[in-house]
Amino acid sequence: MASILIADDEPRIAGFIEKGLRAAGFATRIASDGAEALALAQTDEFDLLVLDVNMPHMTGFEVLEQLRGQGSRMPIIMLTARTDLGDTVAGLEGGADDYLGKPFRFDELLARIRLRMRSSDEAAPVAELRHRDLALDVRSRRVTIDGGRSVELSAREFALAEELIRHAGMVLSREQLLSRVWGYDFDPGSNVADVYIGYLRQKLGADRIETVRGAGYRLV
Protein backbone atom coordinates (compact mmCIF):
# COMPACT_ATOMS: atom_id res chain seq x y z
CA MET A 1 0.00 0.00 0.00
CA ALA A 2 1.41 3.37 -1.02
CA SER A 3 1.99 5.81 1.84
CA ILE A 4 1.46 9.58 1.62
CA LEU A 5 2.69 12.24 4.03
CA ILE A 6 0.32 15.20 4.43
CA ALA A 7 2.01 18.35 5.75
CA ASP A 8 -0.55 21.02 6.64
CA ASP A 9 -1.04 22.96 9.86
CA GLU A 10 -4.79 23.42 9.29
CA PRO A 11 -6.47 20.37 10.93
CA ARG A 12 -9.63 20.76 8.86
CA ILE A 13 -7.78 20.63 5.55
CA ALA A 14 -5.34 17.92 6.64
CA GLY A 15 -8.22 15.79 7.90
CA PHE A 16 -10.18 16.32 4.69
CA ILE A 17 -7.22 15.17 2.58
CA GLU A 18 -6.46 12.23 4.86
CA LYS A 19 -10.05 10.97 4.81
CA GLY A 20 -10.19 11.10 1.02
CA LEU A 21 -6.82 9.42 0.52
CA ARG A 22 -7.61 6.61 2.92
CA ALA A 23 -10.90 6.02 1.12
CA ALA A 24 -8.86 5.82 -2.10
CA GLY A 25 -6.66 3.09 -0.62
CA PHE A 26 -3.60 5.01 0.57
CA ALA A 27 -1.88 4.88 3.94
CA THR A 28 -1.43 8.38 5.39
CA ARG A 29 0.25 10.37 8.11
CA ILE A 30 -0.15 14.04 9.00
CA ALA A 31 2.61 16.49 9.92
CA SER A 32 1.34 19.73 11.47
CA ASP A 33 4.46 21.87 10.99
CA GLY A 34 7.40 22.17 8.65
CA ALA A 35 10.03 20.73 10.98
CA GLU A 36 7.96 17.61 11.60
CA ALA A 37 7.27 17.26 7.88
CA LEU A 38 11.00 17.40 7.08
CA ALA A 39 11.89 14.85 9.77
CA LEU A 40 9.23 12.40 8.59
CA ALA A 41 10.04 12.87 4.91
CA GLN A 42 13.69 12.04 5.62
CA THR A 43 12.74 8.58 6.90
CA ASP A 44 12.04 7.34 3.35
CA GLU A 45 8.81 5.73 4.60
CA PHE A 46 6.59 7.72 2.24
CA ASP A 47 5.95 7.52 -1.48
CA LEU A 48 4.72 11.11 -1.92
CA LEU A 49 4.49 14.35 0.06
CA VAL A 50 1.55 16.76 -0.04
CA LEU A 51 3.20 19.93 1.26
CA ASP A 52 1.51 23.16 2.36
CA VAL A 53 3.53 26.35 1.89
CA ASN A 54 2.49 28.31 4.99
CA MET A 55 3.44 26.29 8.09
CA PRO A 56 5.04 27.06 11.46
CA HIS A 57 8.74 26.45 12.20
CA MET A 58 9.62 25.87 8.53
CA THR A 59 7.78 26.95 5.41
CA GLY A 60 6.97 24.50 2.67
CA PHE A 61 9.59 26.16 0.48
CA GLU A 62 12.24 25.55 3.16
CA VAL A 63 11.21 21.91 3.53
CA LEU A 64 11.35 21.50 -0.24
CA GLU A 65 14.80 23.09 -0.41
CA GLN A 66 16.15 20.80 2.31
CA LEU A 67 14.77 17.62 0.75
CA ARG A 68 15.94 18.38 -2.77
CA GLY A 69 19.30 19.53 -1.46
CA GLN A 70 19.71 16.14 0.20
CA GLY A 71 18.97 14.37 -3.08
CA SER A 72 15.42 13.25 -2.28
CA ARG A 73 13.45 12.39 -5.41
CA MET A 74 10.15 11.75 -3.63
CA PRO A 75 7.27 13.35 -5.57
CA ILE A 76 6.12 16.55 -3.87
CA ILE A 77 2.83 18.34 -4.53
CA MET A 78 2.63 21.79 -2.96
CA LEU A 79 -0.59 23.30 -1.64
CA THR A 80 -1.06 26.97 -0.93
CA ALA A 81 -3.57 29.76 -0.65
CA ARG A 82 -1.06 31.82 -2.62
CA THR A 83 -1.95 31.72 -6.28
CA ASP A 84 0.53 34.35 -7.36
CA LEU A 85 2.58 33.20 -10.36
CA GLY A 86 5.78 34.10 -8.54
CA ASP A 87 5.05 31.61 -5.76
CA THR A 88 4.15 28.95 -8.31
CA VAL A 89 7.39 29.46 -10.20
CA ALA A 90 9.39 29.49 -6.94
CA GLY A 91 7.92 26.15 -5.89
CA LEU A 92 8.43 24.48 -9.24
CA GLU A 93 11.91 25.92 -9.70
CA GLY A 94 12.77 24.65 -6.23
CA GLY A 95 11.98 21.10 -7.29
CA ALA A 96 8.27 20.60 -6.58
CA ASP A 97 6.55 18.19 -8.97
CA ASP A 98 3.20 19.96 -8.92
CA TYR A 99 1.45 22.97 -7.40
CA LEU A 100 -2.22 23.25 -6.42
CA GLY A 101 -3.87 26.41 -5.12
CA LYS A 102 -6.45 26.47 -2.32
CA PRO A 103 -9.34 26.00 -2.43
CA PHE A 104 -9.17 22.84 -4.53
CA ARG A 105 -11.37 19.87 -5.33
CA PHE A 106 -10.24 16.59 -3.83
CA ASP A 107 -10.71 14.67 -7.08
CA GLU A 108 -8.20 17.02 -8.75
CA LEU A 109 -5.66 16.47 -5.98
CA LEU A 110 -6.19 12.70 -6.19
CA ALA A 111 -5.69 12.72 -9.96
CA ARG A 112 -2.42 14.66 -9.58
CA ILE A 113 -1.21 12.29 -6.85
CA ARG A 114 -1.90 9.24 -9.00
CA LEU A 115 -0.15 10.85 -11.97
CA ARG A 116 2.95 11.70 -9.94
CA MET A 117 3.16 8.26 -8.34
CA ARG A 118 2.73 6.55 -11.69
CA SER A 119 5.48 8.71 -13.17
CA SER A 120 7.72 7.86 -10.21
CA ASP A 121 7.08 4.14 -10.60
CA GLU A 122 7.82 4.24 -14.31
CA ALA A 123 11.06 6.19 -13.94
CA ALA A 124 14.07 4.06 -14.73
CA PRO A 125 16.00 3.21 -11.53
CA VAL A 126 19.31 4.30 -13.03
CA ALA A 127 21.85 6.18 -10.93
CA GLU A 128 23.64 7.77 -13.88
CA LEU A 129 22.39 8.78 -17.32
CA ARG A 130 24.83 9.24 -20.20
CA HIS A 131 24.63 10.53 -23.74
CA ARG A 132 27.89 11.07 -25.59
CA ASP A 133 30.03 13.17 -23.22
CA LEU A 134 27.07 14.40 -21.14
CA ALA A 135 26.52 12.62 -17.80
CA LEU A 136 23.80 13.17 -15.19
CA ASP A 137 23.99 11.58 -11.75
CA VAL A 138 20.31 11.50 -10.70
CA ARG A 139 21.14 10.92 -7.03
CA SER A 140 23.74 13.60 -6.41
CA ARG A 141 22.30 15.79 -9.21
CA ARG A 142 25.83 16.28 -10.53
CA VAL A 143 26.25 17.11 -14.21
CA THR A 144 29.45 16.72 -16.17
CA ILE A 145 30.37 17.37 -19.81
CA ASP A 146 33.52 17.32 -21.95
CA GLY A 147 35.16 14.45 -20.12
CA GLY A 148 34.35 15.45 -16.54
CA ARG A 149 33.87 19.22 -16.39
CA SER A 150 31.15 19.96 -13.80
CA VAL A 151 28.20 22.16 -14.70
CA GLU A 152 25.85 23.71 -12.15
CA LEU A 153 22.15 23.35 -13.01
CA SER A 154 19.11 24.54 -11.10
CA ALA A 155 16.55 21.91 -10.03
CA ARG A 156 14.31 22.69 -12.99
CA GLU A 157 17.19 22.79 -15.46
CA PHE A 158 18.34 19.40 -14.20
CA ALA A 159 14.84 17.94 -14.56
CA LEU A 160 14.64 19.23 -18.12
CA ALA A 161 18.09 17.84 -18.98
CA GLU A 162 17.09 14.51 -17.44
CA GLU A 163 13.94 14.32 -19.54
CA LEU A 164 15.88 15.10 -22.70
CA ILE A 165 18.61 12.55 -22.01
CA ARG A 166 16.10 9.83 -21.15
CA HIS A 167 14.60 10.41 -24.59
CA ALA A 168 17.80 11.22 -26.49
CA GLY A 169 17.17 11.40 -30.24
CA MET A 170 13.40 11.71 -29.77
CA VAL A 171 11.50 14.92 -30.40
CA LEU A 172 9.69 16.19 -27.29
CA SER A 173 7.01 18.82 -27.80
CA ARG A 174 6.67 21.88 -25.59
CA GLU A 175 3.47 20.40 -24.17
CA GLN A 176 5.26 17.16 -23.24
CA LEU A 177 8.06 19.07 -21.55
CA LEU A 178 5.62 21.23 -19.59
CA SER A 179 3.70 18.17 -18.41
CA ARG A 180 6.68 15.96 -17.58
CA VAL A 181 9.12 18.52 -16.21
CA TRP A 182 6.91 21.21 -14.69
CA GLY A 183 3.92 18.99 -13.94
CA TYR A 184 1.65 22.01 -14.09
CA ASP A 185 -1.08 23.15 -16.45
CA PHE A 186 0.63 26.20 -17.87
CA ASP A 187 -1.06 28.33 -20.49
CA PRO A 188 -0.37 26.60 -23.83
CA GLY A 189 1.06 29.90 -25.00
CA SER A 190 3.68 29.94 -22.23
CA ASN A 191 7.29 30.09 -23.39
CA VAL A 192 8.78 28.73 -20.15
CA ALA A 193 10.03 25.55 -21.88
CA ASP A 194 11.74 27.62 -24.57
CA VAL A 195 13.36 29.83 -21.93
CA TYR A 196 14.80 26.85 -20.06
CA ILE A 197 15.99 25.21 -23.25
CA GLY A 198 17.93 28.44 -23.77
CA TYR A 199 19.43 28.15 -20.29
CA LEU A 200 20.56 24.57 -21.00
CA ARG A 201 22.09 25.56 -24.31
CA GLN A 202 24.12 28.27 -22.56
CA LYS A 203 25.41 25.81 -19.95
CA LEU A 204 25.75 22.57 -21.93
CA GLY A 205 26.47 23.87 -25.42
CA ALA A 206 24.18 25.27 -28.09
CA ASP A 207 24.71 22.35 -30.47
CA ARG A 208 23.46 19.67 -28.04
CA ILE A 209 19.75 20.52 -28.27
CA GLU A 210 18.11 20.75 -31.67
CA THR A 211 14.97 22.73 -32.41
CA VAL A 212 12.62 20.78 -34.67
CA ARG A 213 10.45 23.47 -36.22
CA GLY A 214 6.78 23.04 -35.38
CA ALA A 215 7.46 19.93 -33.28
CA GLY A 216 9.71 20.62 -30.30
CA TYR A 217 13.23 19.79 -29.15
CA ARG A 218 15.57 16.82 -29.04
CA LEU A 219 18.97 15.96 -27.64
CA VAL A 220 21.26 15.14 -30.58
The residue type found at 17 is I
Percent residues over pLDDT 90 in the chain: 31
pLDDT tens-digit profile of 67-123? 988 888 889 998 887 655 555 555 566 688 888 888 888 888 998 898 888 766 554
β-strands 76-80, 48-52: how paired? parallel
Domain holding 160, by residue range, is: 128-219
Question: CA-CA distance, 122 to 1, in Å (whole number)?
Answer: 17
Rounded (5°) CA angle 11-16-20: 145
Strand, coil or helix: 100? strand
Q: What pLDDT was estimated at residue 137?
A: 84
Q: Is the domain of 44 the same as that of 91?
A: yes
Q: Is the domain of 52 the same as that of 113?
A: yes
Q: What CATH number has the domain bearing residue 139?
A: 1.10.10.10
Strand, coil or helix: 27? strand
Q: Which domain-ending residue is among 95, 122, 149?
A: 122
Q: Is the domain of 118 the same as that of 132?
A: no
First and final CA of the chain: distance in angstroms? 40
Q: Is the domain of 171 the same as that of 203?
A: yes
Whether the pTM exceeds 0.85: the reply is no
Strand, coil or helix: 167? coil
Q: Which residues contact 188 (CB under 8 A, 6 or more apart)?
A: 175
